Amino acid sequence: MKRYNIAVVGASGAVGEELFRVLEEQNFPVANLLPLASANSAGNIIEFAGQEYKIEELTEDVFIDRGIDIAFFSAGG
């Protein structure tokens, strides 16, 4: 089964957390995970599928050369 490089914008919010829960619950084939959020949340740690990931700041060039297959946008206001 193909595995996907996933980016999640809004990773630190409630919708982002729920998205991670659903992806894990459904055993979605994730190869690499890129959690993204505002500068206020950058550096925070999230857990997904037993691994810890550092949230990166969403910038205009964050997707360049990252090989992202699917991006989920769950950013709030």
Number of domains into which the chain is organized = 1
10-residue mean pLDDT profile of the chain (77 residues): values are 96 95 97 96 96 96 93 82
**Residue 5's pLDDT is what?**
97
CATH number of the domain bearing residue 9: 3.40.50.720
Domain ranges, residue 44: 4-73
Spatial CA neighbour of 7 closest among 27, 24, 40, 31: 31
pTM here?
Answer: 0.91
Q: Can you give the pLDDT at residue 77?
A: 63
Q: What is the pLDDT of residue 6?
A: 97
**Alpha-carbon gap, residue 68 to 46, rounded angstroms:** 19
E runs forming strands in the chain = 4-9, 30-37, 45-48, 51-54, 56-57, 70-73
